[in-house]
């Protein structure tokens, strides 16, 4: 239940604090006094879209705060528990701030939340119905929504929607795979060729460098042979060979070592040189003998280098890139097999989901028809009390078809839901927009909202000029209905009808005043003579007129014996 409402710097309201009591409360005032402003402030707490234009001129921010009494269990408590929040002595405070820079804030119990979260929370606190919602009755999509809400079918609809969207996505994925089958086949053939070409080459990393070195050697074999033979001759010539000369040096040094010990040290060093050079000469001799011209090997090297060059040109630039390309081709080919398996698995899953969707839709249709029958009876009970007892209200649930006459199932089910009305006995049922007047639409909407409120948790109902297009006896009947409805929950109604206002338990007056060259909207609870005067104004437009005052007092005493 809404206990308090505080509004600061919102439109024409500079500072306003209202205390609300249980039962039926009306809010009245002259045209332009600011009733829509108060409704807009409540709309902010409901999560409605905010505009910086609503901030009072000269202020940096506007703020609306509501204090609600909440039960110990229910949707509000569940919502709070999920976010680690708690009520304080049975109270919940919701605060919304608008700033001129466009960066607004929302707080619950002092903790920041998003507007999206506020939209989830607010239906558990209060349900607000404005004049614009009359148009919803002309849209079948809202008819389905209201019916599902009445029947408690939102969970079934959500499950069907989730499976339907999953089915749609899987079909799109399968169709994409099938549509690209030809391209995939060509790609697979190309990858198979690439993999075979690279695999058959049996590439060894860096072998192109080794082959280039070998090619250079084979092409210069004669030059290498001549150079090695000449070098070998310089070492082993019998007269002038380096080894023969070094041998003579050794013998001379050894011959004088008994004269001077230093020569013995030098002789040892030359021994080392001699044996090292002799070993190197042996190795050179072996190299000289191995340097032979091999045209077959040279041709093999050329052919191998040509193959590697072609592969690098196609998949390179380096041999490591060629090898990596082959690995990637092999991986992609494996994926082709997996994709083929995926397509088959998708088809099976699609068939399963189609059955599930059809079954869920069939169950939903049955439950909607059951709920439609109950909703019709409930709404007709309310309409009877609102002087529409001769009308017939029907919730029509029919199969959905394509233009070609094929049964359809969408994310919301396989049904078309539309509210039908017969304005007079014997008249055929027609869509609401074809037969209902403004006053009838208001009463039908009120009936639907009242019936829905019985299955919703919100303890507060707010009606913003639900009496549009209504007057006279119908207005009095509407007031009586609202007064009775307020026995079960708190009900706030912004109204222009005296026949409704006189039946309220509580009365708040909204007025516009000018002070210091500025305009302000104020609101305060009235009783006694003030209330008589306000009812008189609503009756005739002349609050001080004696006849109007007498009529107002008579009406108030009719509905309130203690007045």
| pLDDT of residue 181 exceeding 70 | no
Please give the structure tokens belonging to residue 511: 């007025």
pLDDT of residue 342: 67
The answer to whether residues 217 and 314 belong to one domain is yes
pLDDT of residue 522: 94
C-beta contacts of 139-147 below 8 A and 24+ residues apart: 140/416, 140/417, 140/418, 143/395, 143/417, 143/418, 143/419, 144/412, 144/413, 144/415, 144/417, 146/448, 146/452, 147/368, 147/371, 147/372, 147/375, 147/395, 147/397, 147/417
pLDDT of residue 131: 59
Half-sphere exposure of 40 (CA within 13 A, CB side): 20
Please give the structure tokens belonging to residue 395: 């919730």
- DSSP-based three-state secondary structure for 66: strand
Asked if the structure places residue 501 within a domain, the reply is yes
Predicted confidence (pLDDT) per residue in 515-557, tens digit: 888 999 999 999 999 999 999 999 888 777 888 899 999 999 9
Asked if the structure places residue 515 within a domain, the reply is yes
Q: How far apart are CA 322 and CA 319, in angstroms?
A: 5
The answer to whether residues 110 and 212 belong to one domain is no
| pLDDT of residue 172 exceeding 90 | no
Enclosing H/E stretch for 464: strand 460-464
Percent of the chain topping pLDDT 70:
96
The answer to whether residues 120 and 190 belong to one domain is no
Asked if the structure places residue 280 within a domain, the reply is yes
pLDDT of residue 385: 83
Asked if the structure places residue 540 within a domain, the reply is no
pLDDT of residue 135: 66
Question: Which of 431, 435, 448 minimizes the C-alpha distance to 383?
Answer: 448
The answer to whether residues 200 and 69 belong to one domain is no
For the chain, the farthest-separated pair of C-alpha atoms sits apart, in whole angstroms, at 160
> Average pLDDT of the chain?
87
Residue 420, beta-bridge partner list: 394, 431
The answer to whether residues 190 and 272 belong to one domain is yes
The answer to whether residues 227 and 322 belong to one domain is yes
DSSP per residue, 12-53: TEEEEEEE--SSEEEEE--TTSSHHHHHHHHHHHHT----GG
Distances (CA, A) of 128 to 43, 131, 170, 318: 8, 10, 40, 72
| pLDDT of residue 243 exceeding 70 | yes
Enclosing H/E stretch for 353: helix 319-385
The answer to whether residues 328 and 194 belong to one domain is yes
Choice among 200-214, 227-241, 505-519, 545-559 with the minimum mean pLDDT: 227-241
Q: Do 4 and 19 meet the contact criterion of CB atoms below 8 Å apart? A: yes
Asked if the structure places residue 392 within a domain, the reply is no
| pLDDT of residue 179 exceeding 70 | no
The answer to whether residues 220 and 300 belong to one domain is yes
Percent of the chain topping pLDDT 90:
42
pLDDT of residue 182: 61
Predicted confidence (pLDDT) per residue in 460-484, tens digit: 999 888 777 777 788 888 888 889 8
- The CATH number assigned to the domain holding 478 equals 3.40.50.300
pLDDT of residue 8: 96
Strand 61-69 to 506-515 pairing: unpaired
pLDDT of residue 97: 96
As a three-state string, the secondary structure of 492-538 is EEECCCHHHHCCCCEEEEEEEEEECCEEEEEEEECCHHHHHHHHHHH
Please give the structure tokens belonging to residue 348: 């099976």
Asked if the structure places residue 389 within a domain, the reply is no
Predicted confidence (pLDDT) per residue in 6-61, tens digit: 999 999 999 999 999 999 999 999 988 888 899 999 999 999 998 999 999 999 99
The answer to whether residues 216 and 322 belong to one domain is yes
DSSP per residue, 105-150: EEEETTEEE-HHHHHHHGGGTEEEE-GGGGGGGG-HHHHHHHHHHH
The answer to whether residues 219 and 312 belong to one domain is yes
Q: Which ranges constitute the DSSP H helices of 202-294?
A: 207-219, 221-236, 242-256, 261-290
The answer to whether residues 79 and 219 belong to one domain is no
Asked if the structure places residue 178 within a domain, the reply is no
| pLDDT of residue 337 exceeding 70 | no
Question: What range defines the domain where residue 516 resides?
Answer: 1-125+458-525
Tally the domains of the chain: 2
Asked if the structure places residue 150 within a domain, the reply is no
Predicted confidence (pLDDT) per residue in 268-317, tens digit: 888 888 888 888 888 887 887 777 777 888 888 888 889 888 988 888 88
| pLDDT of residue 432 exceeding 90 | no
Q: How far apart are CA 111 and CA 526, in angstroms?
A: 35
The answer to whether residues 85 and 191 belong to one domain is no
């Amino acid at each position: 239940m809404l206990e308090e409402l505080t509004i600061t710097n919102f439109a024409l309201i500079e500072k306003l604090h209202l205390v609300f009591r249980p039962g039926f409360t009306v809010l009245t005032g002259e045209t332009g006094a600011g009733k829509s402003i108060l409704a807009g402030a409540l709309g902010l707490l409901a999560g409605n879209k905010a505009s910086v234009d609503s901030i009072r001129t000269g202020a940096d921010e506007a703020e609306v705060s509501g204090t609600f009494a909440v039960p110990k269990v229910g949707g509000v408590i569940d919502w709070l528990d999920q976010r680690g929040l708690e009520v304080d002595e049975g109270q919940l405070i919701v605060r919304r701030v608008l700033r001129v820079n466009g960066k607004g804030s929302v707080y619950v119990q002092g903790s920041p939340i998003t507007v999206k979260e506020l939209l989830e929370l607010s239906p558990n606190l209060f349900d607000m119905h404005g004049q614009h919602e009359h148009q919803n009755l002309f849209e079948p999509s809202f008819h389905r929504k209201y019916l599902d809400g009445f029947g408690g079918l939102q969970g079934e609809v959500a499950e069907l929607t989730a499976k339907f969207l999953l089915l749609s996505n899987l079909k799109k994925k399968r169709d994409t795979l099938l549509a690209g089958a030809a391209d995939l086949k060509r790609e697979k053939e190309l990858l198979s060729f690439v993999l075979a070409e690279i695999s058959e080459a049996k590439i060894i990393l860096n072998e192109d460098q080794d082959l280039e070195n070998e090619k250079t050697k084979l092409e210069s074999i004669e030059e290498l042979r001549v150079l090695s033979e000449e070098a070998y001759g310089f070492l082993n010539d019998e007269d002038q060979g380096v080894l023969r000369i070094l041998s003579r040096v050794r013998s001379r040094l050894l011959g004088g070592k008994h004269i001077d010990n230093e020569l013995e040290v030098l002789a040892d060093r030359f021994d080392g040189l001699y044996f090292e050079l002799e070993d190197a000469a042996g190795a050179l001799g072996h190299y000289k003998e191995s340097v032979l011209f091999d045209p077959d090997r040279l041709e093999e090297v050329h052919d191998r280098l040509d193959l590697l060059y072609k592969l690098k040109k196609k998949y390179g630039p380096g041999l490591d890139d060629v090898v990596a390309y082959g690995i990637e081709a092999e991986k992609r080919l494996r994926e082709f097999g997996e994709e083929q398996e995926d397509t088959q698995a998708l088809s099976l899953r699609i068939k399963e989901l189609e059955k599930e969707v059809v079954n869920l839709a069939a169950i939903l249709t049955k439950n909607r028809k059951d709920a439609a029958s109950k909703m019709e009876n409930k709404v007709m009970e309310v309409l009877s009390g609102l002087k529409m007892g001769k009308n017939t209200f029907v919730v029509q649930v029919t199969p959905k078809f394509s233009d070609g006459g094929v049964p359809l199932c969408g994310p919301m089910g396989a049904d078309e839901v539309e509210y039908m009305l017969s304005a007079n006995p014997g008249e055929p049922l027609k869509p609401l927009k074809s037969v209902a007047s403004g006053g009838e639409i208001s009463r039908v909407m009120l009936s639907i909202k009242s019936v829905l409120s019985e299955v919703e948790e919100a303890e507060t109902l707010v009606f913003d000029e639900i009496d549009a297009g209504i007057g006279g006896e119908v207005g009095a009947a509407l007031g009586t209905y609202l007064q009775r409805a307020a026995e079960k929950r708190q009900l706030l109604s912004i109204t222009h009808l005296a026949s409704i206002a006189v039946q309220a338990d509580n009365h708040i007056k909204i007025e516009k005043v000018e002070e210091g060259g500025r305009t302000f909207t104020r609101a305060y609870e009235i009783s006694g003579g003030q209330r008589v005067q306000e009812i008189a104004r609503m009756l005739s437009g002349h609050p001080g007129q004696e006849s109007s005052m007498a009529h107002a007092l008579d009406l108030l005493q009719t509905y309130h014996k203690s007045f």
